[in-house]
Chain A
Amino acid sequence: MTAAELDAVQLSLSVALRSVLFGLPLAVLVAWILARRRVAGRIFLDAFVHLPLVLPPVVVGYLLLLLFGTRGPIGGWLYDTFGVQLIFTSAGAALATTIMTFPLMVRAIRISLEDVDAGLEDAARTLGAGAWDRFWTITLPLMLPGILAGAVTAFAAGLGEFGAVITFVSNIPGETRTLPLALYTALQTPGGDALAARLATISFSLGLAGLLAAEFIARRLRRMLGR
Chain B
Amino acid sequence: MKIAATHRRNGFLLDIAIDVPTPGTVALFGRSGCGKTTLANIIAGLIQPEQAAIEVDGVVLEDTRSGHRVPTERRRIGYVFQDARLFPHRSVLGNLRYGEHRAPPTERKITLDHVVALLGLERLLDRRPRELSGGERQRVALGRALLSQPRLLLLDEPLASLDVARREEVLPYLEALRDDLAVPIIYVSHQFDEVMRLATHVVLMDNGRVVTQGAVEQVSLHPQLRAIVGAESVGSVLGGTIVAADPHTGLAAVAVGNGTLNVTLRTARPGAAVRVQVLARDVILATHPPEGLSVRNMLEGRIAYIVEDDPDADLVHVDVGGATVLARVTRAALQSLSLRVGMQIWVLVKAVSIRGHAFLAPRPPLQIFSS
Which residues of A pack against B, CB within 8 Å?
117, 119-120, 122-130, 133, 137-138, 141-142, 224-227
Give the Cβ gap from A121 to chain B, nearest Cβ, in Å. Answer: 9
Cβ–Cβ contact A128 & B148, under 8 A: yes
B128 part of interface (Cβ distance < 8 Å): yes
Which residue of B46, B88, B128, B148 is within 8 Å of A127 (Cβ)?
B148
Instruction: Give bound CA distance, A141 to B81, whole Å.
Output: 22
B275 part of interface (Cβ distance < 8 Å): no
Cβ–Cβ contact A127 & B89, under 8 A: no
Shortest Cβ distance from A134 into B: residue: B73
Chain A residues within 8 Å of B81, by CB:
119, 123
Report if A123-B79 is in contact (Cβ < 8 Å); known contacts: A128-B99, A130-B73.
Answer: yes
Cβ–Cβ contact A125 & B73, under 8 A: yes
Chain B: interface size category: 20 to 34
Instruction: Give bound CA distance, A124 to B73, whole Å.
Output: 8
Cβ–Cβ contact B130 & A127, under 8 A: no
CB contact list, B241-265 vs A, under 8 A: none
Shortest Cβ distance from A126 into B: residue: B79
B44 part of interface (Cβ distance < 8 Å): yes
A to B CB contacts below 8 Å, 14 in the list: A119-B83, A120-B87, A122-B46, A123-B81, A124-B87, A125-B72, A126-B75, A127-B144, A127-B145, A128-B73, A128-B99, A129-B98, A224-B89, A226-B129
Instruction: Give bound CA distance, A58 to B44, whole Å.
Output: 53
Cβ–Cβ contact B85 & A128, under 8 A: no
Which residue of B77, B83, B89, B99 is within 8 Å of A225 (Cβ)?
B89
Cβ–Cβ contact A123 & B85, under 8 A: yes
Cβ–Cβ contact A126 & B72, under 8 A: yes
Cβ–Cβ contact A127 & B102, under 8 A: yes
Shortest Cβ distance from B98 into A: residue: A127
Cβ–Cβ contact B85 & A119, under 8 A: yes
Give the Cβ gap from A139 to chain B, nearest Cβ, in Å. Answer: 11
Mask of B121-144 contacts with A, CB within 8 angstroms, 1/0: 000000011100000000000001
Chain A residues within 8 Å of B130, by CB:
226-227
B201 part of interface (Cβ distance < 8 Å): no
Chain B residues within 8 Å of A126, by CB:
44, 46, 72-73, 75, 77-79, 145, 148
8 additional A-B residue pairs with CB within 8 Å, beyond A129-B98, A225-B89: A119-B85, A125-B46, A128-B148, A129-B102, A142-B88, A224-B89, A226-B129, A226-B130
Instruction: Give bound CA distance, A47 to B99, whole Å.
Output: 40
Instruction: Give bound CA distance, A128 to B81, whole Å.
Output: 16
Cβ–Cβ contact A225 & B88, under 8 A: yes
CB contact list, B67-108 vs A, under 8 A: 72-79, 81, 83, 85, 87-89, 98-99, 102-103
Mask of B264-279 contacts with A, CB within 8 angstroms, 1/0: 0000000000000000
Instruction: Give bound CA distance, A124 to B76, whole Å.
Output: 11
Instruction: Give bound CA distance, A106 to B75, whole Å.
Output: 35
Cβ–Cβ contact A124 & B98, under 8 A: yes
Cβ–Cβ contact A227 & B87, under 8 A: no
Chain B residues within 8 Å of A142, by CB:
88-89
Instruction: Give bound CA distance, A120 to B89, whole Å.
Output: 11
Cβ–Cβ contact B89 & A128, under 8 A: no
Instruction: Give bound CA distance, A130 to B98, whole Å.
Output: 13
Cβ–Cβ contact B102 & A128, under 8 A: yes
Which of A123, A124, A129 has the most CB atoms of chain B within a 10 A radius of its CB? A123
Instruction: Give bound CA distance, A124 to B86, whole Å.
Output: 9
Report if A117-B76 is in contact (Cβ < 8 Å); known contacts: A128-B99, A226-B129.
Answer: no
